[in-house]
Structure 1
């Protein structure tokens, strides 16, 4: 298969790759959602969904590769994301590996576009179109279901991170009917000024902890109390809104149900 990529220029990839190493959780999620899990021979440490991936060898962190292991797997396709993985993308391309990067989406519709894009690379276009259509229908059912609550979103990524303009997460909150407190911020992802949050009068806080944390809701409640924030709080399971694979839509549905259950 010959194609031209915006980042890498002309590419030549196998027509039907059978040994895929996925270094991006969104790509791994998509492969399994398309029924191609048997083709995956290696993963990153952050590719742990679905559970079947846990049996695969860990080839990388998010930005560092175990080169000897990667080469021993003899991949005919290496999948990666852009964004924070762009330096690793460059290293893989310069090493002559058959690498294909999926772009960071700017809206949830970009997640759907990536599914179709990957389906084309893997020769399962009809399957990818069907999955994308099903997820689009689920996403559209969420439109405007929630009241326009002024919402502060915080990811725990070793420190607080929030979202501004151009983020697929901010767009998803808008789609639900919520008002992102920092929708006017010029950066998609940034470290917020925590003193600024109360001045913007939030009516809801969404907190996404690191995954696999014990008692995340209790920890988040204690964190807000330490800041003197009395706002209604929703805590998800971790690495949900930050995940931009097909499972994102399931997580967004879960978030909507959590917020609906909040007492007025």
Structure 2
């Protein structure tokens, strides 16, 4: 088997990557989705417990969670490439690398364009570059369509993601970039951090035109629970709540930063936002 020595900036070291990997483990759901969309699902032998896109990914061996790895399962699978992301997986990346595993962390995107860039990067790593270019074209076409249909009004929005606790976003997040491309103004646009807990009083003062909530996947009671949470925070008087402009997603669609964010989530959110604004007293 032919190997390439590829420098990984997140590790600060070279990684030996097979010219055509045959046994790939993906520990990040966005990268798993990319692999399958590139037609490389046949070489994916293991995934994390959070990798459920596409549904076929759930048939692969679960190697661990986002933060912990089962080394006995890794030994069984004998991967020739392990794909991970940055940020929260920093520790597991260093651990895998120090143990001699062929781990290649891919940068967490801070913009929607970063998602497209990761498609190209993964395509290069698994020798599916032509397929990556075709997927890139598809994503850019979808983005162009969304941008041309974006809101022309300066509607403000508060976004909350359930990551175990209430989390919102600032400038340095792909979610904030997504909102801007949809024509929405994040009420935390001035914050330079990526992810942080919201301040109840600040949100009350901002009084957003819209609220978007992204629960955990499969949370069938997400809407009712969130509406109760809004009341407990004293947010039931916000105009977004009073005028019924609260969107609760099906779960884990905004928190997910794979290609489906561009292909499915962004068009769906834009349609929902337009419908709510048109059917309410929003100017």
**TM-score band w.r.t. shorter chain:** over 0.9
1:29 aligns with 2:33: yes
2-structure distance, mates of 1:197, 1:209 = 19
Q: Deviations over 1:63-106 (max 9, x none)?
A: 00111111110101111000100110000101101111110111
1:207 aligns with 2:213: yes
| Equivalent of 2:16 in 6, 12, 15 | 12
| Equivalent of 1:120 in 120, 124, 129 | 124
Correspondence for 2:76: 72
1:239 aligns with 2:249: no
Correspondence for 1:197: 203
Task: Give unpaired runs (5+ residues) of structure 1.
Answer: none
Q: TM-score, normalised by structure 2?
A: 0.90
Correspondence for 1:3: 6
1:97 aligns with 2:110: no
Correspondence for 2:150: 145
Correspondence for 1:57: 61
- Give 1:226 deviation, angstroms: 3.0
SS of 1:13's equivalent in the other structure is strand
| Equivalent of 1:82 in 70, 82, 86 | 86
1:107 aligns with 2:111: yes
Moved over 6 A (4+): none
- Give 1:130 deviation, angstroms: 1.1
CA contact (8 A) 2:40 2:128 kept: no
SS of 2:18's equivalent in the other structure is coil
- Give 1:216 deviation, angstroms: 2.2
Q: TM-score, normalised by structure 1?
A: 0.96
2-structure distance, mates of 1:102, 1:237 = 27
Correspondence for 1:248: 261
Q: Deviations over 1:94-138 (max 9, x none)?
A: 110111111011110000000001101111111101101110110
1-structure distance, mates of 2:273, 2:172 = 23
RMSD: 1.2
1:154 aligns with 2:160: yes
1-structure distance, mates of 2:211, 2:15 = 44
SS of 2:47's equivalent in the other structure is strand
| Equivalent of 1:45 in 49, 55, 67 | 49
- Give 1:261 deviation, angstroms: 1.7
SS of 1:151's equivalent in the other structure is strand
2-structure distance, mates of 1:2, 1:140 = 36
Aligned length: 264
| Equivalent of 2:136 in 132, 136, 151 | 132
- Give 1:149 deviation, angstroms: 0.9
Correspondence for 1:179: 185
- Give 1:58 deviation, angstroms: 0.9
- Give 1:140 deviation, angstroms: 2.0
